[in-house]
Copies of this chain bind each other. A is one copy, B any other.
Amino acid sequence: MNLKELSSILGLSQTTVSRALNGYPEVSEETRDRVQRAADRHNYRPNTRAKGLATGRAMAIGHVIPVSPRIDMVNNPIFGDFIAGAGEAYSKAGYDMVLTVVEDDREADAYRQIKSRGTVDGVVVHGPRTHDSRITLLNDLQIPFVVHGRSSGIDEPYCWVDVNNRRAFSRATDFLLDLGHTRIALINGLEFMDFAIRRRAGYEASLIARGLPVDPELLRSNVMTELYGYRDARALLALDRPPTAFLVASMICAIGVRRAIQDCGIRLGRDVSVVTYDDMLSYLPNGDDVPIFTASRSSVRVAGRLSGELLLERIANPDAPCRGELLEAELMVGQSTGPAPAS
């Protein structure tokens, strides 16, 4: 069923039918009703491609997902929840979501293609690094975009949605310091990722504010898998002066840390404390009433929704100044922390 057929059934021109369905005023309410009912009855929906061709808008948002051995965004456990949040925003506004999985060295080319092929009206940038070249590229290409996170070292304006990682980790560090811990390890994500840099900065700032040294021995940076959480924690616990507390980059990682602690025969929350970051993944809830881990938490799904909404707003209004949205993580005290053991 297409517009031509529908309008001939109704005995109206395509113009009128199109206008009736798109809410233009040049058509009587009576006709509009009649058209609307006929459209429903015949299950008519305008062809996306034709509509896009005619309007110049794709009604779709792109997410370019770089994959590589080095860093694999789609493998990131937060991806599903972020997409769910963004998808919510899109479907409410009648937009589709287009994913492009691409080798990470061809990511720039993917954005150029997007521009020239016109498949989407805007893109969301995932996993920004410091000095992220994608931001400059997208600004040059004039593709509307929103970054999930920020990129230190980029001066030009851009829209973003981010968690206050620095403050979250500074707060968490303060919390552990207040419990009397002085040797606090940081099991961080890869430190070319912007969020990891900010987290480390927050951690260091809190230590320095109390006149404590930043011991490089206690800093680890790795992909955030269970396995690396385990390994890093094992290595840290084997030190001559092991840490009494851990600051961990993600729940998955923290699970590895927990395993390491148990393998060492010591007890979580008593012998050693752990504060983690919790993205509130739906399949990995941090306990129900009482959190298992003490954690800074902020819903990545909400971040996805906000990113989607911000991007749609930007597309509708490309000349408005760039906006950023800073979410605050909330510190939930759970069972994985306690006072520093007397040494």
Judge whether A74 and B65 touch: CB under 8 Å: no
- Is there a chain B Cβ closer than 8 Å to A22's Cβ? no
Contacts A84-B65, A98-B97, A283-B225; A116 near B43 (Cβ below 8 A): yes
User: Taking the full assembly, how many copies of this chain does it contain?
Assistant: 2
CB contacts under 8 Å to B, within A217-254, are 223-227, 252
User: Which of under 10, 10 to 19, 20 to 34, or 35 or more describes the interface residues of A?
Assistant: 35 or more
A21 to chain B, nearest CB (A): 13
Judge whether A113 and B45 touch: CB under 8 Å: yes
Cα separation A77 to B58 with both chains bound (whole Å): 30
- Is there a chain B Cβ closer than 8 Å to A118's Cβ? yes
Which B residues are CB-close (under 8 A) to A65? Answer: 84, 87
Tell me which of A99-107, A146-154, A164-172, A314-322 binds B.
A99-107
- Is there a chain B Cβ closer than 8 Å to A139's Cβ? no
Main secondary structure of the interface of A (DSSP, over half): mixed
A-B pairs with beta carbons under 8 Å apart, 10 shown: A44-B116, A48-B49, A49-B52, A49-B119, A53-B53, A67-B84, A77-B284, A96-B99, A97-B100, A226-B284
Question: Given A43-B116, A48-B118, 15 more contacts at CB 8 Å?
Answer: A43-B112, A47-B116, A48-B117, A53-B53, A72-B84, A75-B84, A77-B77, A77-B283, A83-B101, A88-B101, A90-B101, A91-B102, A225-B283, A258-B259, A262-B262
Nearest 5 CB-CB pairs, A to B? A87-B101, A75-B282, A45-B116, A74-B84, A49-B52
